[in-house]
């Protein structure tokens, strides 16, 4: 996911969800002075800066990390603040604590990121290591999405197969009957107390089919592996399947205006490091 400028223009659905969830939890977080706060999967930094930064204590500092160098470069260029820093880092990497330190953070946030992480256990272990004892984490990711099913279909097509060999590494909970139960068990085993874990439907809205295509391209993990001259064909194939599967509903009087898209299933987890 290296389309930072495209993502910055197209992430309004994620941003709105993040805003609603933070409004729900901001008064539950027991803020204290001089806190260290981490945002995992910060992308271009707009949620970090526009939503998280305003609700933290003035004495706190805030770090955003993302696996994408392009995203972090965009965030560093766009946002200048003494309380902020942005760093390229994979939350499932072995060197996370070498870079960020053990038990560094009082609060950890992650929005719309962890469904892209193949090694969920390693990510949970690293979040645990980064949190101070008693520290809180608010984790939000997509558990289930019709889009992931379409990715699997595309990965079986001869033209796209070689670029999507790892498709099953993403969306770990797509075929799980009870994602909350499975993820909560993982967090308990890691040393967390799960305070809340629930699923929530969230719609993906776009004014036009073209706008939806841009939003999907911005977060597609496979397209940058393809030669530039076939990327357009790949996106056309994806969009045609979305229409064929009736995942979008258009306005008959204005065929290009989308009025509904089948909702994703978000997993929202609020947990505490207790050991």
Count CA within 13 A, CB hemisphere, residue 112: 24
Number of domains in the chain: 1
Do 130 and 255 form a contact (C-beta atoms < 8 A)?
A: no
pLDDT tens across 174-183, in order?
A: 988 999 999 9
Residue 38 is part of a domain; what is its CATH number? 3.40.50.150
Reported confidence tier of residue 131, pLDDT bands at 50, 70, 90: very high
Residue 73 has pLDDT above 90, yes or no: yes
Q: How far apart are CA 97 and CA 103, in angstroms?
A: 9
Average pLDDT over residues 150-170: 94
Per-residue pLDDT at 259? 46
Residue 9 has pLDDT above 90, yes or no: no
Per-residue pLDDT at 203? 79
Domain that holds residue 95: 4-273
pLDDT tens across 17-26, in order?
A: 999 999 999 9
pTM (predicted TM-score): 0.91
Reported confidence tier of residue 253, pLDDT bands at 50, 70, 90: low
Q: What DSSP character marks residue 177? A: S
pLDDT tens across 79-130, in order?
A: 988 899 999 999 999 999 999 999 899 999 999 999 999 999 999 999 999 9
CA-CA distances (angstroms) from residue 160 to 14, 145, 218, 241? Answer: 27, 20, 18, 14
């Amino acid at each position: 996911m290296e389309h930072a400028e495209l993502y910055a223009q197209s992430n309004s659905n994620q941003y709105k969800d993040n805003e609603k969830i933070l409004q729900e939890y901001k008064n539950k977080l027991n803020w204290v002075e001089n806190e260290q706060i981490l945002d995992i999967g910060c992308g271009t930094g707009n949620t970090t800066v526009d939503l998280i930064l305003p609700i933290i204590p003035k004495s706190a500092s805030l770090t955003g990390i993302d696996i994408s160098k392009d995203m972090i470069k965009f965030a560093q260029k766009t946002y200048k603040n003494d309380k902020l820093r942005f760093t390229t880092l994979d939350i499932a990497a072995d060197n996370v604590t070498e870079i960020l330190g053990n038990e560094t953070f009082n609060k950890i946030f992650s929005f719309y990121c962890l469904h892209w992480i193949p090694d969920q256990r390693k990510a949970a272990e690293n979040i645990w290591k980064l949190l101070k004892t008693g520290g809180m984490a608010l984790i939000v990711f997509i558990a289930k999405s019709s889009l992931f099913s379409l990715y699997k279909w595309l990965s079986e097509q001869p033209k796209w197969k070689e670029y999507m060999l790892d498709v099953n590494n993403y969306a770990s909970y797509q075929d799980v009957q009870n994602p909350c139960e499975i993820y909560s068990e993982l967090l308990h085993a890691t040393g967390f107390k799960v305070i809340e874990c629930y699923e929530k439907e969230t719609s993906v809205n776009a004014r036009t089919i073209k706008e939806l295509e841009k939003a999907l391209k911005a977060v597609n993990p496979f397209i940058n592996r393809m030669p530039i001259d076939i990327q357009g064909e790949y996106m056309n194939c994806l969009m045609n399947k979305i229409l064929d599967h009736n995942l979008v509903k258009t306005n008959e009087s204005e065929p290009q205006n989308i009025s509904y898209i089948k909702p994703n299933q978000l997993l929202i987890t609020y947990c505490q490091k207790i050991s």
